[in-house]
Structure 1
Amino acid sequence: MTVAAHPRVPRPSEDPHGGPRRLVGSLAALGGRHPGAHDLLLMQCTGSLLPVGGGELPAWARWVLRAHPWVTVARAPSAAGSPADTPYPVRCTRDASAGAETWIPVTVRGPDCGQRLDALAPWAAVARTLRPEQLPERLGLLPPARTAAIPALAVLPAAGELVADHRLAWGPIGAIAYELATGEPVAGPLSPLRLVLRAPQPVSRRDALQLRRALSRLRVPLQAELETRHGAVQLAEYAASPLTVTLLTPHGPREVHDPWFPREL
């Protein structure tokens, strides 16, 4: 059975987000790929979100999701189970042939600064995913005046060139990522440019220091994290060459000597 789109959501042919949406179905419909931290998910059925800790979605979250049904994947463990395992029924028509549900940890961004809601989203209700690497190409979809008014948006191409010199896949995260995905003007003139740098292979401290220094010349507040196979470490911390660094993992932060080969200290 096909789920009708929310009345305020354009049809696929009119989709301003750059592509057709997936109908609700099983995990296999997306080739089995699970989203990672900082991915943005377009929800087909926002009423199926479950706040962490139980209860109903607050009024502000329902209002935000009606206008822009995007959520950000959090760095936390996924959960498995069927809709019958949830505290109350999931209000979303689902493919009857779908197997046990996979619940993705997500964050809903509120209209006020710092307003966030941690929730679980059923993978079957995800219509589309956008990875940070896909977002820079969407810069041209924003009005030129908007890009010029927000320094973190204006320097995005220059940041990409600096990262490309080090042969790392990259993408924006945080407020800049959300604005590029949704078109909603959530970033401000003082918003930092936050980047995730994909580093499945080890990066030397020397290269990290060179990249950090190059990025610091962009003259905007900038935060970058190196994403390894085991989690993320802040570029500035790693480049400073401390004996240990904080590795951010789905199960919480860990103090390690090497973020690519973490061992218990």
Structure 2
Amino acid sequence: MPVAAEPEPTARRRAHEEHVGGPRRLVGPLAALDGRLPGTHDLLLMQCPSSLRPLGGGELPDWARLVLRAHPWVTVGRAPARVGAPVDTPHPVRCTRDVSAAPEHWLPVTVRGPERGQRLDALAPKAAVARTLRPEQLIGRHALLPAARVAAVPALAVLPVVDELVADHRLAWGPIGAIGYELATGEPVTGPLSPLRLVLRAPQPVSRRDALHLRRALSKLPVPVQAELETRHGAVLLAEYAAGPLTLTLLTPDGPREVHDPWFPQGLRPGPFNR
């Protein structure tokens, strides 16, 4: 008697199950990104990290090669993606595990180094992405870390409390920065004094009153918290928006802009760093 085919939703869930300790078998841009482009702060697992190209040109530094060999995760930056080969790469590297994908769509990413402040901005071909994790998918991953490790890093320990505070405002959220990187990779890159950075998804306007209430609640936590409100046009710091200034700095892929309303940024003007 033939075995009935597994329902598509169940099969899809099984194909996308967590694979702790290594990349998923299902690889390639469609599998890893579900047909969408990654967004700022997404963490990407690269199946051929040697295909990364530094923005400054040349080859990857030795420290970056060592990091990517051990933990081939990179963070998507807030910059425009590029189509075609970077100027210093006349022949883009193709991933032998995914020959059908087009590697000419290059994503802006950052490689995190072992030393404090050690970062490398680079471009990564979309075809080399084996897995993607959005900040929202990292919330419960502290349970995968050793209990002693979570207890030693307050920014990890307070994640369940943050979840409750943000849930009151019905905003999707996720940890970013060093905390997000450790949750994705398991690599202990944070410490007892590490701050907690958050992204709060706010496609619809958030009132100043709600923003102020949330900022005050987060400020009572035993760790420094920096939260970003991510709108459809870019991000604005929660603390800045809650303070109610006449103009705000909106972080966009094309650089910071001064706006009056981050949800309706008419007449965008270059920010102070772009002048």
TM-score (norm 2): 0.86
Q: Which amino acid aligns with 2:27?
A: L
Matching of residues 232-247 of structure 1 within 5 Å: 232-247=235-250
Matching of residues 75-154 of structure 1 within 5 Å: 75-81=78-84, 86-90=89-93, 92-93=95-96, 95-99=98-102, 101-154=104-157
Q: Which amino acid aligns with 2:128?
A: A
Following superposition, the deviation at residue 87 of structure 1 comes to: 3.9
Q: Which amino acid aligns with 1:159?
A: V
The unaligned stretches of length 5 or more in structure 2 are: 1-15, 270-275
Question: What is the percentage of aligned positions where both structures have the same residue?
Answer: 77
Q: Which amino acid aligns with 2:218?
A: L
Q: 1:19 to 1:42 in 2, by over 3 A?
A: closer
Q: 1:189 to 1:95 in 2, by over 3 A?
A: closer
Supply the distance in 2 between the matched residues of 1:234 and 1:164 (Cα, whole angstroms): 19
TM-score (norm 1): 0.89
Q: Which amino acid aligns with 2:50?
A: G
Following superposition, the deviation at residue 100 of structure 1 comes to: 6.0
Q: Which amino acid aligns with 1:127?
A: A
Equivalent in 13, 16, 22 of residue 20 of structure 2:
16
Other-structure match for 2:3: none
Give deviations 1:224-250, integer Å, cap 9, x for gaps. Answer: 000000000000000000000000000
Give deviations 1:106-156, integer Å, cap 9, x for gaps. Answer: 000000000000000000000000000000111100000000000100111
Other-structure match for 2:265: 262
Equivalent in 213, 232, 240 of residue 229 of structure 1:
232
Other-structure match for 1:171: 174
Following superposition, the deviation at residue 30 of structure 1 comes to: 3.9
For the 8 Å contact 1:83–1:90, the answer to whether it is kept is: no
Matching of residues 52-91 of structure 1 within 5 Å: 52-81=55-84, 86-90=89-93
SS state of the match for residue 179, structure 1?
A: helix
Aligned pair count reads: 253
Equivalent in 35, 43, 63 of residue 38 of structure 2:
35
Q: Which amino acid aligns with 1:20?
A: R
Q: Which amino acid aligns with 2:26?
A: R
Q: Which amino acid aligns with 1:174?
A: G
Other-structure match for 1:212: 215
Pick which of 215-224 and 13-22 moved more: 13-22
For the 8 Å contact 2:103–2:126, the answer to whether it is kept is: no
Q: Tell me which stretches of 4 or more aligned residues in structure 1 moved more than 3 Å.
A: 12-15, 26-31, 82-85, 94-100
For the 8 Å contact 1:94–1:124, the answer to whether it is kept is: no
